Structure 1
Amino acid sequence: MRFAISYSTGSFGVDPDHLVAYARHAEACGFEGLYLPEHIVLYPGATLGAMPIPASLPLVDPLDALSFVAAATSRLLLGTGVLLLPYQHPVVLAKRLATIDVLSKGRMRLVTVGLGSLPGEAAAVGVDFASRGRRADEAIDVLRLLWSGGAEGVGFHGEFFDFDALCSFPQPLAPLPIHVGGSSRAAARRAGRRGDGFFPGGMLLPDERAAQLALARSEAVTAGRDPGALEYTRWGSITMSAERAEALAAEGVTRVVVSATADDPAEQHAQMSAFAGRLIR
């Protein structure tokens, strides 16, 4: 089982020195990768479930920030948790992700996409909230098509995206895995049909969590894909014990993502070091 760490400027602030120090210490501790979240815009009254989201939360663009992290690190894989795929045009996104992968020497490997849960955010970028699932499905197909196309170009004709003979170079150094995030059965089905991994949210009850993983694997079989190749990522606590890690591994978890909880940078580093001492080294 592998261990990665997340960083949210909404929690830790937009301080470039802090972000770089956090990423470098995570790399030194042996964490596999660093995840950043995304919200394109917020607005007064936005909520995540029953929890209000402050409209002034300073969430940076994850891909721009990961480029910054890549330049300051050498081994750390780069991840999104989650990238709001329906709100991105896949032709533009294919170029951005491939560029980061090439310039980071193949480290843009933990791309996790989701649908987004804020109707106002969808409206702000001109996307119909109700159709965002179908739009995301097409976007995944477009990304993979562009990354695999040759000099003769590739074409796509769908409900949302339509083009002929497009070429998108540079291409990633290797095919980019696309993991699917979300806490719904629709997300599990999407992961099985199209994803390289499934990264559900942290608030599910055990029975529903098990049912969603089983659904993702069964959908992979139906789609003619290998269910055993589907990675399974879960959120975890920075205070996680070795026993808890073993229990997650027994559930089929292949990666755990944690985050520091302290406000002080020195305490954050101490939390990372303690976690690595228990579970990584």
Structure 2
Amino acid sequence: MKFAISYSTPHYGTDPDRIIAFAQHAEACGFEGLYLPDHIALYPGAKVGDFEMPTTLPYPDPLDCLSFVAAATERILLGTGVLLLPYRHPVILAKRLATIDVLSRGRMRLLTVGLGTMPGEAAATGVDFATRGRRADEAIDVLRLLWSGGADGISFDGEFFAFDSLVSFPKPLGVPHLPIHIGGSSRAAARRAGRRGNGYFPGGMLSPNERASQLDLAKSEAVAAGRDPEALQYTRWGSIDMPSERVEGLAAEGVTRIVIGSTDPDTQLDEMSRFAERFDLGR
């Protein structure tokens, strides 16, 4: 089992010293990766599920924050949980992600993408909310083509994106393309993970039966797409106080990575240290 941790900017704030202290301590404790959340814009009445989002919550750009973190760390992997893929142009995104990967010496390896659930956020970026699933699928294909394409360039003619003989450098460090994990809490997300993802990171308040069904669906879609279902990584949320029995239960469900969610800002570093000691992360 691998353990990563999320830095919730709305919960912890955007003080640069706090962000760096958190990241460096997570690295010293032995956490595999650091995740950042994403929202491009909020508005009055915006909701995630039943929770109405306060409009003043600070959501800095997660990729800019990860670049900042990369410069102050050496080993910890960089992740998003989740990057709202339909609202970003994949040609620009391919360049940004590859640049972070190269400058961090190959650490932009926990990219998790999702669709977003707020129609106003889609409208603000000029995206038809109803098309965001198809747009995300196409964007994933474009990212991988650009990362793996050579000096002669690649061409693409899709519903949302089109270009001829396009060349994009730098490339991800030492790999044909960066891993792309799929986040979400729906069967559509599970299908996307099986067809196109390197991993599945479900969220939300799902029943155990629904979680199991979604994982089975992701694997069956992988088989149908001619992909290896056992290569699909399975990431789940956890808590800083989770007992070893809970970790063992998640492992039995096929979970390969646990991402620890928000902790108390006043005690977070000590809590991270105690968690690392309990699960021997530094071994």
For the criterion TM > 0.5, the same-fold answer is: yes
* Partner of residue 270, structure 1: 270
> Secondary structure of 1:79's match?
strand
* Partner of residue 109, structure 2: 109
RMSD value over aligned CA atoms?
A: 0.7
Question: What's the offset of the Cα at 1:202?
Answer: 3.7
Contact 1:78–1:111, Cα closer than 8 Å, also in 2: yes
Q: Tell me the matched-pair count.
A: 279
* Partner of residue 233, structure 1: 235
* Partner of residue 214, structure 1: 216
The letter for the 2-side match of 1:200 is: P
TM-score normalised over the length of structure 1:
0.98
Question: What's the offset of the Cα at 1:242?
Answer: 1.2
Taking the aligned partners of 1:24 and 1:241, their CA distance within structure 2 comes to 25
Question: What's the offset of the Cα at 1:203?
Answer: 1.2
Q: Deviations over 1:3-30 (max 9, x none)?
A: 0000011111110000000000000000
Q: Percent identity?
A: 73
Flag as ranges the 4+ runs of structure 1 deviating above 2 A: none
Contact 2:2–2:258, Cα closer than 8 Å, also in 1: yes
Taking the aligned partners of 1:24 and 1:242, their CA distance within structure 2 comes to 25
Taking the aligned partners of 1:184 and 1:130, their CA distance within structure 2 comes to 15
* Partner of residue 50, structure 1: 50
The letter for the 2-side match of 1:50 is: D
Contact 2:8–2:262, Cα closer than 8 Å, also in 1: no
The letter for the 1-side match of 2:186 is: S
> Secondary structure of 2:137's match?
helix
Uncovered stretches (5+) of structure 1, i.e. residues with no partner = none
Give 1:168-179 correspondences, 5 Å limit. Answer: 168-173=168-173, 174=175, 175-179=177-181
Taking the aligned partners of 1:64 and 1:22, their CA distance within structure 2 comes to 16
Taking the aligned partners of 2:93 and 2:158, their CA distance within structure 1 comes to 17
> Secondary structure of 1:248's match?
helix
Uncovered stretches (5+) of structure 2, i.e. residues with no partner = none
> Secondary structure of 1:110's match?
coil
The letter for the 2-side match of 1:21 is: A
- Given the alignment of the two structures, is residue 124 of structure 1 paired with residue 133 of structure 2, yes or no? no
